[in-house]
Structure 1
Amino acid sequence: MNIIKFLDEFTTDNLIDGKTSRRDVFSKFGALSKKAAIAAVPFGLASVPKKALAQSMSADPVGALQLALTLEYLEDEFYDLALQSGVLPSGRPEIVYMQISKHEQAHVDFLRAGLEGAGVTPVEKPTFDFTVGGMFDPFNDNGVGQETAYAQLLALAQAFEDTGVRAYKGQAGNLLGSDFLTPALQIHSVEARHASEIRRLRGLKGWITNNDRGMGMPEATQAVYDGEENIVQGGVDVTTLGSDGPFTMEASSEAYDEPLSGDDATAIASLFIVN
């Protein structure tokens, strides 16, 4: 597991083709064709960019998209393997995983098309280890048993989806002024729906309370939830609000999702990356 190598993929030098200037890169973001966008997002996830990214010539939008693509690679492969594993019960769990899998594949296709349309080489798909060195057996490959494997499938899916929601929120600022802000927010809202569906399959509320990772979640997933207990929004302590008395700490934290920094999202994903 080479975390340093993974982090290095997100440096400016590695994100931008050496033959392409920053100005060229961002002028090309608007050149993504309607045909490519429709092929990449068959269910109409995002509108087609029609103009160059505005003003900012920093590498931040590219880095944000590369990070998003890496997280989507992870989710896409996870759901694909889950569906092949035979661990999922028939009925609603299988239907939910099938639908989410379609979404994740569409997200991968869209992000790759957007980067390629900008003249940027998409980050390569890493090699993933969803067992985390043997800590888990979500696909029952090592005979942990159907019930335990299914519980792990749900727990990992919850961690991935909750990470995705917070990571997209955390990168939104890096996409300000770009034509990719709107589609990124569209993906963000879909990830939130995924998170809610998975959490309900686990018998939990559809949202996070404080920094509680939830019943049955491994301690290793706590980093996904740290910071969610924040109750100050826009400089206002929201527990002081409410027409019939102050909101509780729990209700206040549930009402707002917190962003996750790129470094934190990378550290979480790195647990499942071999190289």
Structure 2
Amino acid sequence: MNIVNILEEIEKVDGEIYERLNPRRAAMKSFANMGKKISLAAMPLAMGSMFQKAYGQTTPSVVTDVLNFALALEYLEYHFYNHALVAAPSLTFTAQQRTEITVIRDHEMAHVNLLKGALGASARAEITYAMTDYTAGNTFPTVYSDYVTFLKVALGFEDTGVRAYKGQAGNLLGNPVLTTALQIHSVEARHAAHIRTMLNAAGATGLKPWITLGPGNIGNDTGVAAVNAVYAGEENTTQAGINIAGIASQVTAAAAAECFDEPLAKANVAVIANLFLKDGFKLS
């Protein structure tokens, strides 16, 4: 994480960022000192705390709602990976696979801490593992015993996250936390691409690193019908009112669909997330 670059991006939106924190020179000094005192893993929490200090009194309710919804998704992702690593003895990983899943798990916890820090006292209550059902009502009964099934569910989570963050970006326009949200969005996209690579290595499918069209030109290219909701609309080939499929001989429907990640509305994301939450803990 390059703190100076993050602050420079925020400064483009909010020229008073340093004054909100404290005078610029003092802020730079405190960042230098902070780097000596805390580990890189703890940096997102510290940054989140500073953002809460700067914007906690001025953050509109719609932004708080967006960040809390994002926080709920990050809790779901964190517990999904964490349980696989520490409490699913029937799910075996090679040393390399375990390392890769651990990195993703740790990223999700960093996102949780960053969002909690930004929200401060407005942060929603934690979603615990006990509130979840990663079999999705026995739709994926082998999620914690079969490696390929585990990865396919993981891919559903990551692709949902990518589309969810994009879907809410418009609600964050004009607020400096948009920078943070888009950074998390990019990490989720890298997770999705990497899990697709892991699935290919496991011999599951011929997935590309990005979403493309599935059989019958539907948006779901995973071959898992149970996650159709994750990919609904990804088959879209029209942008700015123009159907870009066929505008040149090499621009097929698949190529046109691959060009853009489609946003996913909050209500649609909630339907997907609720598949993995027990009754009484559903998102709205």
TM-score, structure 2 as length reference: 0.72
- 2: CA distance between counterparts of 1:108 and 1:52? 18
Is 2:166 the counterpart of 1:190? Answer: no
Q: 1:233 aligns with which of 235, 239, 252?
A: 239
Q: 1:179 aligns with which of 173, 176, 185?
A: 176
Shift of 1:52: 3.7
Q: Which amino acid aligns with 1:273?
A: L
- 1:197 partner SS: helix
1:75-116 deviations in Å (ceiling 9; x for gaps): 000000111224142143222211101100000011111111
Q: What is the aligned partner in structure 1 of residue 104 from structure 2?
A: 100
Q: 2:209 aligns with which of 191, 206, 213?
A: 206
Q: What is the aligned partner in structure 2 of residue 7 from structure 1?
A: none
Shift of 1:240: 4.5
- Structure 1 range deviating more: 120-129 or 261-270: 120-129
TM-score, structure 1 as length reference: 0.75
- 2: CA distance between counterparts of 1:43 and 1:121? 18
- 2: CA distance between counterparts of 1:129 and 1:74? 10
- 2:122 partner SS: coil
Q: Which amino acid aligns with 2:234?
A: E
Shift of 1:40: 8.9
Q: Which amino acid aligns with 2:111?
A: H
- Structure 1 range deviating more: 157-166 or 90-99: 90-99
Q: Which amino acid aligns with 1:111?
A: L
Q: What is the aligned partner in structure 1 of residue 274 from structure 2?
A: 270
Higher RCO (CA 8 Å, separation ≥ 6 residues): 1
- 2: CA distance between counterparts of 1:51 and 1:234? 36
Q: What is the aligned partner in structure 1 of residue 204 from structure 2?
A: none
Seen in structure 2, the aligned counterparts of structure 1 residues 215 and 186 have a Cα distance that, compared at 3 Å, is closer
Q: Which amino acid aligns with 2:81?
A: Y
Q: What is the aligned partner in structure 1 of residue 226 from structure 2?
A: 220
Identity rate, percent: 40
Runs (5+) with no aligned partner, structure 1? 1-29, 141-148
Q: What is the aligned partner in structure 2 of residue 122 from structure 1?
A: 124
- 2:69 partner SS: helix
Q: What is the aligned partner in structure 2 of residue 168 from structure 1?
A: 165
- 2: CA distance between counterparts of 1:183 and 1:39? 19
Q: What is the aligned partner in structure 2 of residue 17 from structure 1?
A: none
Q: 2:144 aligns with which of 139, 143, 147?
A: 139
- Structure 1 range deviating more: 74-83 or 88-97: 88-97
- 2: CA distance between counterparts of 1:222 and 1:132? 14
Q: Which amino acid aligns with 1:106?
A: A
Runs (5+) with no aligned partner, structure 2? 1-19, 22-29, 201-206
**Aligned residue pairs, count:** 232
